[in-house]
Amino acid sequence: MKILLSSLAAAVVLTACTVNPQKAEVRRNAFIQKAFPNPADQRGLDLFIPLESAGIYPTLQISYFTQEVSEPEVRRRAASFCARQNSPRLTGQAVIERDIGYGTRTIPGRPARQIRTIFYSCVKSA
């Protein structure tokens, strides 16, 4: 009986922790829309995560679909995000801090697509 109850409790906990892919996609898109209000700047982006430090967001993790948008265009968008922070500590430019590389993004009900993930740094003022 203990084993049955323990198994049932474990199943309930695991079910509660399951991520709903559709809800995750909605959250992901809402975050991209908030960061990039212009719909043209949202095109081709898969993931956008700004990393905060001392009240500004100097590091940005961006994943994008390589067949929809080029790296220079994504860097331009990152720079525009840096500029919109209106911080005297940032120049409004962005450079690649670390290129994680290429991967595959599988969205339920759609074919797998190639993505590239890059960490960009907002260039700091001298």
Q: For residue 124, how many other CB atoms are within 10 A of its CB?
A: 13
Q: Which two tokens stand for residue 93?
A: 């430019």
What's residue 68's pLDDT? 96
Phi/psi class of residue 101: alpha, beta or left (left: φ > 0; alpha: ψ in -120 to 50)? left
Q: Does any domain span residue 120? A: yes
Would 55 be classed as within a structural domain? yes
Per-residue tokens: 104: 């595959």
Is 10 a member of any domain?
A: no
Whether 118 and 71 have beta carbons less than 8 Å apart is answered as yes
**Has residue 2 been placed in a domain?**
no
Q: Are 60 and 48 in contact (CB under 8 A)?
A: yes
pLDDT tens for 28-50 read 889 899 999 999 999 999 999 99
pLDDT at 14: 53
- Burial string for 1-34 (b: 16+ CB within 10 Å, else e) reads eeeeeeeeeeeeeeeeeeeeeeeeeeebeeebee
Q: What is the DSSP letter of 111?
A: -
Which strand (E) or helix (H) includes residue 74? Answer: helix 71-84
Per-residue pLDDT of 60-83, as tens digits, reads 999 999 999 999 999 999 999 999
Asked, for residue 96, whether it belongs to a domain, the answer is: yes
Domain count of the fold of the chain: 1
Query: Is there a domain that residue 11 lies in?
Result: no
**Is residue 115 included in any domain, yes or no?**
yes
pLDDT digits (tens, 9 = 90+) for 83-112: 999 889 999 999 999 999 999 998 778 899
Cα 86–chain centre separation: 21
12 within domain boundaries: no
Domain span at 108: 20-124
